[in-house]
Structure 1
């Protein structure tokens, strides 16, 4: 079992610290000025089932790792929400993933003029991050970027 699988499906929060440390060292996390770190939101049913949002846990552990290093770190803010439930991306063929999350996200509160780093745990096609970034751009965010802990191959 991989560490990310243990976190997501076995609720092994002990691996979140080391995984968050890996995110904290990523160039886009460590070497840019962000106004907020934004986790990709889970759908309500998945959040209830899992009991936590793994992207949020990883983002918070990454923030803590940067703070321990004496760095200024942007606040973690839940600036995205899911408008509707979606099928878990890993259950879909690659060609269906973009359509699955198209229009699924919208901002929670004002993001106008903000520089935002969106954090996800795993990406394959990038469809979820792209949908999140597009929603934030449409709402007036000044700068957006996405960062995932792990990229899987199709």
Structure 2
């Protein structure tokens, strides 16, 4: 991954700017129901951005990216709010396991979700869901069908908070979507607890 670190250093110098994010190509339509993505992960700058979020723990960058995410779904949310949906959505980061947190030191989607929730007036709920079992890294699972199997039933909900999900609208935050398997698994868990509407917004696709 040395080459990627070098790209990050070139694309994103020590201080991040909003202008730097604007030059990253926008993501193609994920073609996954209720999933929105901002930047093109297949472009070098998009890949470098996701890597920077995972590794640098840069709060300024996180804030700027969250702004892009909020802008990306602004029209959708405004339309939904006309029908009394997503007026005060619950914002949930895709959780990681305790082992993953120990290795990485933090969960970048939590920071993104916190900033995003503040921007849209949502309720940031980081401990609503948790990942109760380890899974193979999705990037190492090549088959689309196997990716869905890999993360099947890997999420659970906090007993204290799951009763509050009935008829609630939820926004899932993640850094990257490819097949949508991880988001689909979490969405299934949330809907089983009574969530009304569930959408996801990711940094890249």
C-alpha separation between the residues in 2 aligned to 1:88 and 1:9? 17
1:34·1:117 contact (CA, 8 Å) conserved in 2? no
1:94·1:125 contact (CA, 8 Å) conserved in 2? no
Write the mapping of 1:29-44 to structure 2, written as runs, cut at 5 A.
30-31=77-78, 32-44=86-98
| Number of residue pairs aligned between Structure 1 and Structure 2 | 145
- Residue in 2 that maps onto 1:20: 66
1:97-129 deviation per Cα after TM superposition (whole angstroms, max 9, x unaligned)? 111100001222222221111111101000000
C-alpha separation between the residues in 1 aligned to 2:198 and 2:88? 9
Distance 1:126 1:34, change over 3 A: farther
The gaps in structure 2 that reach 5 residues or longer are 1-7, 9-47, 79-85
2:57·2:108 contact (CA, 8 Å) conserved in 1? no
1:44·1:85 contact (CA, 8 Å) conserved in 2? no
1:66-92 deviation per Cα after TM superposition (whole angstroms, max 9, x unaligned)? 2xxxx6x11110311112111221121
- Residue in 2 that maps onto 1:49: 103
SS at match of 1:128: helix
Candidates 160, 163, 188, aligned match of 1:134: 188
- Residue in 1 that maps onto 2:140: 91
C-alpha separation between the residues in 1 aligned to 2:175 and 2:115? 12
Q: CA RMSD in A?
A: 1.8
- Residue in 1 that maps onto 2:123: 75
- Residue in 2 that maps onto 1:102: 152
C-alpha separation between the residues in 2 aligned to 1:91 and 1:9? 19
Distance 1:34 1:101, change over 3 A: farther
The gaps in structure 1 that reach 5 residues or longer are none
- Residue in 2 that maps onto 1:5: 51
- Residue in 1 that maps onto 2:20: none
C-alpha separation between the residues in 1 aligned to 2:88 and 2:200? 12
Query: Which has the greater radius of gyration?
Result: 2
